[in-house]
Amino acid sequence: MEVAGESCDVENGAYSNRAIEVKEFDETKAGVKGLVDSGVKEIPKFFIHPPETLERPVAAESGGAGYEVPVIDLRGLEREEIVRGIREASETWGCFQMVNHGIPLTIIEEMVEGVRRFHEQPQEMKMEWYSRDRKQPVRYYCNGDLHVSNAANWRDSISCEFPDGTLDPEALPLLCRKEITAYIKGMTELKEILGELVSEALGLKSDHLKKMGCMETQTLVCHYYPGCPQPDLTLGATKHSDPSFLTILLQDNIGGLQVLHQGHWLDIPPLHGALVANLGDLMQLVTNDRFKSVEHRVLARQVGPRISAACFFYPSTMSGYKLYGPLMEFLSDDNRPIYRETDVNEYLEYYRSKGLDGTSALPYFKL
């Protein structure tokens, strides 16, 4: 295994050195922003990715046919047209941008500023939220997979868990409490709309996904990507797909989000006020590969910070051990199940155990 261009064989001690460096960094609770604030000119070796993960295949001319991430107007079109657009995007891309989604621009802009305020507050105050305990409903950290990944990503995060859509607002940091509370309310409302539209796009009744209880719990993860002194050596986020049923992403105007489409990395350019919908692994599993879970990444940049907020939708807490497998509506003699049944807890446990290593977790669950 290669990390930062060096062999990680136990014999030469490189792996041990990396583990020590990561532990020392983690214990500072300062995150990537702390490195930038200290004036580093060279990034620590454990942030350096092997060349194969940094490759940037050249796509067709920007704007060429078939090479633009679909943009769907949720209010300006007939419902049949919206459903058809979601179906086509979900089958071929696994993602789409949304405009006229019903969340006011002021809530989106205030959310971005709230996330910025949290990450840019004095370090001694922010570090009180630092934790790797997943049982903590609200926590700040640098790289959830810091200790298991081959290379770290250039970002810090604050995660907020809303089991069955609820979390006491008093548990949220005061600096962004109002903004997160308003934003998550909008996410819940938009999720209901998308749940119906995606159900119809699958040829099912509009309340099918709702009755499955598969998108009742939200995890809101707010990322902060500082400007990087050596952006060509690292990534903001390694290639991955989401373990959720559905993810709604807010990104600011910095850019850097890319999706893998037909073997090419393509930008998802920020559209003012737009949101991105990513289909997750569990959606691909229950649709038996009819809808795709999108592989995506975030480039590191010298310009920053970039701010994003990803809202992941998972089954209700009551359904934590409920088995999900390919739906019978998509099975026949000619379309056998591709995946075995699994529950969200098992899926997440495996997903987290391997870290963001650039490979999908779905093959592990294939029959």
Q: What is the pLDDT of residues 96-131, one digit of tens each?
A: 999 999 999 999 999 999 999 999 999 999 999 999
Calculate the average pLDDT of the chain. 92
pLDDT band at 57 (very low <50, low <70, confident <90, very high): low
- Whole-number Å distance between alpha carbons of 62 and 22: 39
What pLDDT, in 10s, does the model give residues 334-365?
999 999 999 999 999 999 998 888 899 999 99
* pLDDT recorded at residue 58: 54
Q: Is the pLDDT of residue 46 over 60?
A: yes
C-alpha span between 69 and 259 (Å, rounded): 9
What CA–CA distance (Å, rounded) separates 315 from 335?
A: 26
Q: How confident is the model at residue 21 (pLDDT cuts 50, 70, 90)?
A: very high
Q: Is pLDDT above 90 for 298?
A: yes
State the average pLDDT over residues 148-160.
95
Structure tokens at 291: 């809808």
Element (H, E) at 85: helix 79-92
Sequence-distant contacts of 302-305: CB under 8 A, at least 24 apart: 302/227, 302/228, 302/229, 302/231, 303/227, 303/254, 304/225, 304/226, 304/227, 304/228, 304/254, 305/33, 305/116, 305/119, 305/224, 305/225, 305/226, 305/227, 305/254
Q: In whole angstroms, what separates CA 354 from the centre of its chain?
A: 16
Helix (H, G, I), strand (E, B) or coil at 4: coil
The residue type at 125? M
Q: What is the pLDDT of residue 88?
A: 97
* Identity at 268, one-letter amino acid code: I
pLDDT digits (tens, 9 = 90+) for 68-105: 899 999 998 899 999 999 999 999 999 999 999 999 99
Instruction: Evaluate if residue 240 carries a pLDDT over 70.
Output: yes
pLDDT over 80 at 12, yes or no: no
Task: Give the rounded percent of residues in the chain with a pLDDT score beyond 70.
Answer: 93
CB 98 within 8 A of CB 277: yes
What pLDDT, on the 0 to 100 scale, is given for residue 16?
A: 63
Q: Is the pLDDT of residue 61 over 70?
A: no
Query: In which band, very low, low, confident or very high, does the pLDDT at 47 lie, cut at 50, 70 and 90?
Result: very high
Q: Is the peptide bond before 305 cis (omega within 30 degrees of 0)?
A: yes
**pLDDT(6) > 70:** no
pLDDT value of residue 17: 86
Residues 6+ apart with CB under 8 A from 57: 263, 264, 265
pLDDT value at position 299?
96
Q: Kindly state the average pLDDT of the residues 145-155.
A: 93
Percent of the residues in the chain that have a pLDDT greater than 90, as a whole number: 84
Higher model confidence: residue 149 or residue 280?
280
Of 15-19, 193-197, 233-237, 313-317, minimum mean pLDDT range: 15-19
How far apart (Å, rounded) are the C-alpha atoms in residues 256 and 245?
A: 23
pLDDT at 8 over 60: no
pLDDT of residue 319: 82
How does pLDDT run across 160-210, given as a tens digit for each residue? 999 999 999 999 999 999 999 999 999 999 999 999 999 999 999 999 999
